Amino acid sequence: MKNRLATAIGLTFAVLITGCQSPTLPDPNDPKNAGVMAPEVLRRNLAGAADAFFGRARHREITDAEARKMLTDYATELLKDIRPDEVQASQAWEYAEVLIAANRFADAEKMLVVALKNPQSEDRRVNDSLRLARCQAMLGDVNAAIATARTTFNAAPQEKAPILLAILMEVVPAGRGKGADSALADLLSDAIGQGRQVSVDRSTESGRSYLLALPYHIRRAERVISELRGGGNST
């Protein structure tokens, strides 16, 4: 369950809670790093970059926007030798995460469609479906994004942890203002119910953290729902 909750938070939140130490970043242009990197290496390098860039932002050396731009540029450089049509299906979801960080949503969408044809676990099905929904929304197909996000609602309670956060923080912002705000409001309203159904182990730190954070996320979601339905301004 701990791993599921960590996955639920995703890269967006992980970079905000890392420690103060900034790792040395691998240089994609270094000759010893030449060739196509394995997906787990790509993801590990990207996580290290996120730690470094957002660590600098926390210390006000750079802005959050600059940190995001640096991370996007770094992900783009990591992917320069990757050919999406040659990636193995079992590795597709890993490459998709790096592609999303590089804002290559069309390529990430293709990868996630491949990954979801035979997901390696229920946890992967839920997370990859939510990532696919974000990509679809970013690419302008908000109705498809909503339908994809809703496919996760049949997950067992112990697998539902990623749903509310991903819809609130990724799917809705990606699809907002593209002609389907009312449907997004309905989706987010239903996602609150999904968040309340999550089963966690209260004896673990991750379980307690989820329960402590849930009321905050619900309140935030309710504000966004009101805005989507014309009841308030964006915050």
| Neighbouring C-beta atoms of residue 103, cutoff 10 Å | 14
What's the first-to-final CA gap in the chain, in angstroms?
Answer: 32
pLDDT digits (tens, 9 = 90+) for 106-137: 999 999 999 999 999 999 999 999 999 999 99
Query: What is the structure's pLDDT at 7?
Result: 40
Domain locations in the chain as residue ranges: 1-100, 119-235
181-197 and 142-150 helices cross at what angle (nearest 10)?
A: 20
The answer to whether 95 and 82 have CB atoms below 8 angstroms apart is yes
pLDDT confidence band for 33 (50 / 70 / 90): very low
**What would the DSSP string read from start to end of 89-152?**
GGGHHHHHHHHHHTT-HHHHHHHHHHHHHS-SSHHHHHHHHHHHHHHHHHTT-HHHHHHHHHGG
142-150 and 122-138 helices cross at what angle (nearest 10)?
A: 170
pLDDT digits (tens, 9 = 90+) for 150-184: 999 999 999 999 999 999 999 999 999 999 999 99
pLDDT digits (tens, 9 = 90+) for 51-92: 999 999 999 999 999 998 999 999 888 888 777 677 788 889
